[in-house]
Amino acid sequence: MHDETPAGFLLALGGNAFVTGGEPLTMPGQFAYAEAVATRLLPCVRDADRVVVVHGNGPQVGHMLARVEAALGTAYALPLDVCVAETEGELGYVLLQALRNAWRAQGVDREICAVLTQVLVAADDPAFATPVKPIGRVLSAAEAARLRAEGVAVQVDVGRGWRRVVASPKPCAVLETASIARLLDGGIVVIAGGGGGVPVTTAHERLLGVEAVVDKDATAALLADALALTTLVMLTDVPCAFEHFRSPRQRAVGRITRARLAALAADGHFAPGSMGPKIAAACDFVDRPSRRAIICAPDNLAAALADTDGTRVHDGE
Q: Among residues 8, 10, 11, 15, which is the contact residue for ligand ADP, using CB under 6 A?
A: 15
Q: Which of 14, 16, 56, 196 is catalytic?
A: 16
- Specify the stretch interacting with ligand ADP by CB under 6 A; choose among 108-116, 123-131, 237-245, 301-309: 237-245
- Please provide the DSSP assignment of 253-300 as one string: --EEEHHHHHHHHHTT-S-TTTHHHHHHHHHHH--STT-EEEEE-GGG
Note if 278 is an active site residue.
yes
Q: Shortest distance, CB of residue 196 to ligand ADP, whole angstroms?
A: 10
- Exposed (0-12), middle (13-18) or buried (19+): which is 224, by Cβ within 10 Å? buried
Query: Taking every pair of C-alpha atoms in the chain, what is the biggest distance, in angstroms?
Result: 64
- Specify the stretch interacting with ligand ADP by CB under 6 A; choose among 11-19, 42-50, 72-80, 124-132: 11-19
- Characterize 138-147 residue by residue with b for buried, 16 or more Cβ atoms within 10 angstroms of its Cβ, and e for exposed: ebeeeebeee
158-187: which residues touch ligand ADP (CB under 6 A)? none
Q: How many CB atoms lie within 10 A of CB 274?
A: 14
Q: Among residues 8, 56, 92, 136, which is the contact residue for ligand ADP, using CB under 6 A?
A: 56
Nearer to ligand ADP, 184 or 297 (CB): 297
Q: Which of 8, 278, 300, 310 is catalytic?
A: 278
Residue 271 makes contact with ligand ADP by CB under 6 A? yes
Quote the CA–CA distance of 278 and 293 in Å, as a whole number. Answer: 9
Note if 16 is an active site residue.
yes
The residue count for binding ligand ADP (CB under 6 A) is 15
Q: Which amino acid appears at position 238 of this protein?
A: V
Which residue, 116, 231, 109, is CA-closest to 175? 116
Residues in Cβ contact with 22 at an 8 Å cutoff, skipping those fewer than 6 apart: none
Residues assigned a catalytic role: 15-16, 133, 216, 278
| Residues at the interface with ligand ADP (CB under 6 A) | 14-16, 56, 236-238, 241-242, 245, 269-271, 274-275
